[in-house]
Structure 1
Amino acid sequence: MSSAHGTRHPRIAVVGSINVDITATTSRLPGPGETVTDGVLTRMPGGKGSNQASAAARLGGDVRMIGAVGRDGEAELMRAALGRAGVNTSALAERDSATGIALICVDSHGENQISVCPGANSEIDTSSIDFDDDAVIMQLEIPMDRVLDAARRASGMVVLNASPVRDLPRELLDNTDLLVVNEHERDALDHIPPGCLVAVTYGADGAELLRDGTSLARAAGVPTTAVSSVGAGDAFCAALVVGLLRGYEPRVALEAACAVGAAAVADEATQPEFGDLDEYVG
């Protein structure tokens, strides 16, 4: 895909959570008060911010991660994982709190339940960061005032992945250029500012780009064998941002993002080793 109208390696800052994912893969998800005893345990890098940074870097972005970790072995694991993906980690702050942990249960169909212990993510500080990047990507696993601060001061595209669902200040939405949500997250919004580009994901049914309620592009889902849906939305978000900044047409960027999301679902890792985004353009 030509990048004549965009930036081949766009500069992206990801402001968000950094977690170690402790995952039990079981035949089915337990119900309330129930124990399922056939689990297989894995421990992998995760966190919505870290997932998006890793994906954006592997897909071709020039990415830096803005976040906080503890002074522990989990922090070393996360620094190493982000470094392998090509993410600049010089802005990671160390805190006395433990590195964030996500406790995840995944069933044989790839569906999941997640409980997060934020730890150092609650102590992220954006006040000394200059946001002169082509885009700043944020999610909602960190304190809202830090998200709002980054959105206010960003000079490039402001991308908000409004997940997990929280009450959002109108000022944050008014400062957002690209809003990335699934259907449930979209329905929870009481305000979408005029002119904001909105990407809505429909799981296996693909995704859609809209502006002011008008559909700009619709992409079908890419057939795949689901292994785990954890991190798939993060991969989609990262791919869409890289594609749009490279100058892909909206439909092409959306289709490539859906292909990346499908590749993530087919991989047990929360942070798969993606190739360059061009490889996912049909």
Structure 2
Amino acid sequence: MLRYLALPTLILAAACSSAPAETLAVPTLEPLWVAEGFQGAEGAAMAPDGSYYISNVFGDGRAKDGNAYIAKLSTGGVIVERYWSAKLDAPKGMAILDGTLYVNDIDRVVMVDAESGSRKGQIPIEGASFLNDATVWNGQVYVSDSGTARIHVLDGETATVWMEDDVLKGVNGLLGDAGRMLVSTMTAGDLLSVDADRNVTVIATGMVDGDGIGLVPGGGYLVSSWPGQIHYVGEGGTVTTLLDTTGDETPITQNDLTIFGDVVIVPNLRNDTVTAWKVVR
């Protein structure tokens, strides 16, 4: 089902006092649509034909029950194939590389043909407890493990620990961006920039329960906090909260926020919906 979204009712601004003055205008989010009928929608990826793949946890995020699946969603917010790829456990973040969709599934990464949805194998992640987001960076797939403060890199059909550090406590969102990887954390609520030598720069902080990350056209970042917020981070580190539903009677969770061009796709896990916005500056 499809319904349209009213304009956000709450706009908050929280400027970091130590951040330099920003020169870019703060963007706004223009509602496009809300798609209904999911079962624990968590992650999003773009299909080869331009539609969206949405992972559905369908139950306990740690349960190995084989009940979960990936749905295919049109650009207009209509579910065109509910069980595009099924019999997963609790799929979350996804990334596509060379025609393969890599799906985080608790303690393994499942490989799926990005065109057909058929299985191509799996990569167990030794010691993993809660694989969360995934990204492609420098020609390889990286995955975060929120339970162990680690980022793993996949090489063929094996995985190794790429980074493990206290700064990654509650690591969640990953986004490869040229010479750096952007990382969000849930514990401190940081947006981090990590280079290939694992040098870390804190871009912004205070966005507790940070989840998805997106690059805003023209500059800056969107970061979701899964309990119900979407933040804009300026290039100088100033944080402006564009949407906050945490005080609502039924908060709308903002999970693996992803930007495709100027369209923002946000799965809403606890609400069984997916929200689309247009980012406007």
TM-score by length of 1: 0.36
TM-score by length of 2: 0.36
